[in-house]
Amino acid sequence: MATTSEPADRFAAFGNQLVHVHLWLREELAALRSGLDDHLSGRGGRPRELRAHCLAFCSALTRHHTAEDGGVFPALAEAHPGLRPVLDELAHDHRQVEELLGRLQTLLDTLPTAPAEPLGPEAARRLSGELDGLIALVESHFTYEEKKLVAALNGLSAPLSDDFALRDLTDA
């Protein structure tokens, strides 16, 4: 009798894992946006907490994309050669996301360290703009990736990196 812990069941769920990870990352990104909005409106969200949340989110997203580029995409390209153009486009998105994450982190590093110290209007505008750009790119990327890859991922029969599923973060 098969159980859900058998490897074949795990392999059949890679597409579902992708959707699960994307949902978690979307929630984290929404929380980051909310934290920035709270900080900018004076309702809370100390700069130190914003920086820490951004660092955790940026790290998780980078780990997920690195696992895709280094393991998942090559496995899919081998199993489904017709997906290569899609995988190349998604890898290009990953590079764009990394650039945005770097700019966002740089801006967050310039936030004042005192909780009561306000963020200047130009810094607030730039920070909001970068975060909005990241949100738009990530949402578009996730939607496209899910549409194009879930079925192919669910058909894979080889193990993938735990970083792909961000198991230690999303299973908590």
> pLDDT digits over 145-162, tens only?
999 999 898 887 766 555
Half-sphere exposure of 103 (CA within 13 A, CB side): 15
**Fold observed for domain 47-170:** Four Helix Bundle (Hemerythrin (Met), subunit A) (1.20.120)
Q: Any idea of the CA torsion for 106, 109, 111, 115, to the nearest 10 degrees?
A: 150
| Nearest Cα residue to 33 out of 132, 101, 125 | 132
* Residue 119 DSSP class: P
* pLDDT at site 100: 92
Rounded to an integer, what distance in angstroms lies between the CA atom of residue 81 and that of residue 93? 19
- Tokens representing 76 are 């899919």
> pLDDT digits over 84-98, tens only?
999 999 999 999 999
Whole-prediction pTM? 0.81
Rounded to an integer, what distance in angstroms lies between the CA atom of residue 145 and that of residue 68? 11
> pLDDT digits over 24-81, tens only?
999 989 988 888 888 777 776 666 677 788 888 888 899 889 988 988 899 899 889 9
* pLDDT at site 23: 93
